[in-house]
A and B are shown apart, each in its own frame.
Chain A
């Protein structure tokens, strides 16, 4: 681990008191300010947005006080800066806020106190560059009937600012945004500027300079964390359309670092192995999928699972031995819903569809004697084999380019379901080392036969 010195990013809160009515004013003890500081971060996913609230106690003198806030080399959106007085021992009024023209990345609030007092203030803002993601580890039991599903959340800080001992909340849900926070943070002027013809766009230069600064900033070493005897609990709560993950205690994540925590651990989630044959999606190979349900029977179901990458391993002994079974990325999994993880092609389960017989029937001719339609009749067969050592639930989906078809004379094991006007699926379970076959007749009406719902005599 290298010693590192952060020099490119800083966040400073200063309070200068300009008691215009009084020639003398009290100084501000910055150490006192730091001691009472509380930071909360609320990190959204997938939006690149974090709401930061920074709470402090400030001593205010009688008259006008200036609170200066600077954010050079961070990714803070200056349009989101808000100062609120949450608690004050005397009347306090926030008069105005200004971005001085001669100093970049600086905001100054003018706060008027009628009497000397101590005021609780809260500065909130949006910043880009802090993200979180979910990912999961699934370890199949030796008999492949269950998985131990462990959810993780990983926090990543590339905001340019260190957040020490911050209360951290993670939001699952898609929020509506008009502007990208990262773009607002890059603006050379906090709220942009009126368009004036003939001036070069300075925004790109500023962005490039900022980017270089961020990329060349030396990394800071890991911060000391508070001792604990158990992993941080992550409390999950519903809030409007969003789900909120609140991490127990506080987190310190230096700029550039990421931290991974266990979100949940479900030791025995029942799974089924589904082998999907769908030539539109996967070609002629059968693809193995691992399915589980986000419900209480699986020791889940208390909260939705955020989308993320799943890595699946297969435990092969009791000593931690395992093999890599595959990985997939799953989208948001609501409560009570089933998730499917695609593990890849499996040559041990084969599906071979073929046309057994073909005929053209019910030829139709119009008044001029021209051929105007017919029925395309084909007998289909699908040979299915399972050379694996487990029972295989096989799903075979077929696609019809033309919706004017009927299926009759289905024989073989399993279940048939028409998905929509162009798709149907067979569901069949095969014991290890067995083969079976499904056959059916599919009749497609062509030409004028599309408009005739009942069979007509063959010509």
Chain B
């Protein structure tokens, strides 16, 4: 980026180029400071007042999880009694010109914003403000600034036995806005405000959450939607996804909304430092929900699904003898094996589509919707277990209505 300068209007016809770190220029010209308009009589020029550059005040950056930052600057304007014109201009920054606001915080009878004018082809606007008296007036100038945003990243460190986890959260500030901020207050959420410097092209990381010993539950999740039923004959069998479940509650040490962000997960290696276990995206997790951090895929827990029996019953035919409707009794077998030397909890998700009824499901399960069955299965060390699911699919159609054998989502 080229060196940036900005011009401060001192008086008509005299401009000074100054190298400034801030790119936003705010200058105040009293009502008669219109002599630079050639159309006006020369008498107006003589009444031009020297501009007063408002002192820099506090700067607040409101991030609020959006891609656009709301910048709020507190300034003190020196206003003369009567109508004042305040010019606000910017260069080399991207500001939404339709979202620039001046709030005087004063009694409307004392200070009144009359109009806002925008010149052609310039990044500037002019506020016309009426002041009842000569005064120094604090104001807040707000604008939406592009190129300044925030990310959340998490670092999780599980203990060697994978029973607890230390969780850190960091705010990543990325400033490519063209503006440099000194000692600005960054507002992330209610109660989360911190001050820092942030230069243009700078990325800054701030630790804002440090929680030790969060209880976790390691789970293995097998889902028929993504996992092969016969992994030994599947060349790209990925293994069973595994990770940690964390309850977001005050009892567990959290109890506030977790914002979306990338998590890198490490594990202590009992006296030999730590190892990197994997990384995952944390979605928005409201207080009370459970977060799941996937660390990878396990090849030590084996799941096989095999259909061992099917039988058509209740067959109905038309006058030509063609089958119209029938039922089918099915038995699916799950063969589960834990090859590790520690007990595990396997969450097995299976689906049965269509109109069906259970016959003998072989294990307790939770039915989360019409087709989804979730089994929480305890597998001891080196344990192998077999579960048979027997169920009956009813009213299977042929011909014209065969498309209705699969349940369309919705409604």
Which residues of chain A have a CB within 8 Å of any CB of chain B?
1, 3-5, 135, 137, 219-225, 227-232, 255-262, 279, 309, 311, 313, 316, 319-324, 327, 347-348, 353-360, 363, 365, 368-371, 374, 376, 378-381, 385, 387, 398-400, 405, 433, 442, 444, 446-447, 459
Q: Which residues of the other chain, A, contact B369 by a CB distance below 8 angstroms?
A: 354-356, 381
B246 within 8 A of A: no
Q: Which of the four size classes fits the interface of chain B?
A: 35 or more
Q: Which of A137, A228, A354, A442 contacts B101 (CB 8 A)?
A: A137
26 sample A-B contacts, Cβ–Cβ < 8 Å, listed by A number: A1-B9, A1-B119, A219-B121, A222-B37, A223-B37, A231-B115, A255-B120, A256-B121, A257-B117, A259-B117, A320-B140, A321-B72, A347-B284, A355-B370, A356-B370, A360-B394, A360-B395, A363-B325, A368-B318, A369-B319, A370-B324, A370-B400, A371-B316, A444-B411, A446-B401, A447-B401
Whether B38 and A5, one on each chain, are in contact in the complex, defined by CB atoms closer than 8 angstroms, is yes
Q: Which residues of the other chain, A, contact B253 by a CB distance below 8 angstroms?
A: none
A335 to B286, CA, bound (A): 39
Distance in Å: Cβ of B288 to nearest Cβ of chain A = 7
The B309-353 residues at the A interface (CB cut-off 8 A) are 316-320, 322, 324-325
A19 to B44, CA, bound (A): 43
Contact A322 to B324, CB < 8 A, known contacts A219-B120, A231-B114, A257-B120: no
Q: Which residues of the other chain, B, contact A370 by a CB distance below 8 angstroms?
A: 318, 322, 324, 399-400
Whether A378 and B105, one on each chain, are in contact in the complex, defined by CB atoms closer than 8 angstroms, is no
Whether A442 and B411, one on each chain, are in contact in the complex, defined by CB atoms closer than 8 angstroms, is yes
Binary per-residue interface labels of chain B (278-292) against chain A in the complex, 1 for a CB within 8 Å, 0 otherwise: 000001101111000
Binary per-residue interface labels of chain B (70-105) against chain A in the complex, 1 for a CB within 8 Å, 0 otherwise: 101010000000110001000000000011010101
Extra 10 A-B pairs, beta carbons < 8 Å, given A256-B119, A259-B115, A369-B316 = A219-B122, A232-B115, A257-B119, A309-B98, A321-B62, A355-B409, A357-B370, A370-B399, A398-B411, A399-B410
Q: Which residues of the other chain, B, contact A376 by a CB distance below 8 angstroms?
A: 404
Whether B115 and A387, one on each chain, are in contact in the complex, defined by CB atoms closer than 8 angstroms, is no
Whether A374 and B401, one on each chain, are in contact in the complex, defined by CB atoms closer than 8 angstroms, is yes
Whether A1 and B36, one on each chain, are in contact in the complex, defined by CB atoms closer than 8 angstroms, is yes
Distance in Å: Cβ of A397 to nearest Cβ of chain B = 12
Closest to B289 in A: A387
Contact A387 to B119, CB < 8 A, known contacts A324-B64, A370-B324: no
Whether A323 and B64, one on each chain, are in contact in the complex, defined by CB atoms closer than 8 angstroms, is yes
A255 to B118, CA, bound (A): 11
Whether A319 and B187, one on each chain, are in contact in the complex, defined by CB atoms closer than 8 angstroms, is no
Q: Which residues of the other chain, A, contact B318 by a CB distance below 8 angstroms?
A: 365, 368-370
A221 to B60, CA, bound (A): 33
Distance in Å: Cβ of B138 to nearest Cβ of chain A = 9
Which residues of chain B have a CB within 8 Å of any CB of chain A?
9, 31, 34, 36-40, 44, 60, 62, 64, 66, 68, 70, 72, 74, 82-83, 87, 98-99, 101, 103, 105, 112-122, 126, 128, 130, 132, 140, 142, 144, 187, 190, 257, 283-284, 286-289, 316-320, 322, 324-325, 354-355, 368-371, 394-395, 397-401, 404, 407, 409-411
A399 to B409, CA, bound (A): 11
Q: Which residues of the other chain, A, contact B114 by a CB distance below 8 angstroms?
A: 228, 230-232, 261
Q: Which residues of the other chain, B, contact A356 by a CB distance below 8 angstroms?
A: 369-370
Q: Which residues of the other chain, B, contact A135 by a CB distance below 8 angstroms?
A: 98
A357 to B352, CA, bound (A): 11
Q: Which residues of the other chain, B, contact A381 by a CB distance below 8 angstroms?
A: 369
Give the 7 A-B residue pairs with the shortest CB-CB distance, closest first.
A256-B120, A387-B286, A369-B318, A320-B140, A347-B284, A260-B116, A354-B369
Closest to B96 in A: A311
Find the residue from A221, A357, A360, A381 having the highest chain B CB count within 10 A: A360
Whether A358 and B407, one on each chain, are in contact in the complex, defined by CB atoms closer than 8 angstroms, is yes
Distance in Å: Cβ of B247 to nearest Cβ of chain A = 14
Whether B115 and A1, one on each chain, are in contact in the complex, defined by CB atoms closer than 8 angstroms, is no
Q: Which of B39, B99, B128, B187 contacts A323 (CB 8 A)?
A: B187
Closest to B325 in A: A371
A260 to B127, CA, bound (A): 9
Contact A225 to B128, CB < 8 A, known contacts A322-B62, A356-B369, A363-B395: yes
Closest to A137 in B: B101
Q: Which of A228, A320, A347 contacts B72 (CB 8 A)?
A: A320
Q: Which residues of the other chain, B, contact A3 by a CB distance below 8 angstroms?
A: 36, 38
Q: Which of A224, A279, A446 contacts B404 (CB 8 A)?
A: A446
Q: Which residues of the other chain, B, contact A224 by a CB distance below 8 angstroms?
A: 34, 37, 40, 44
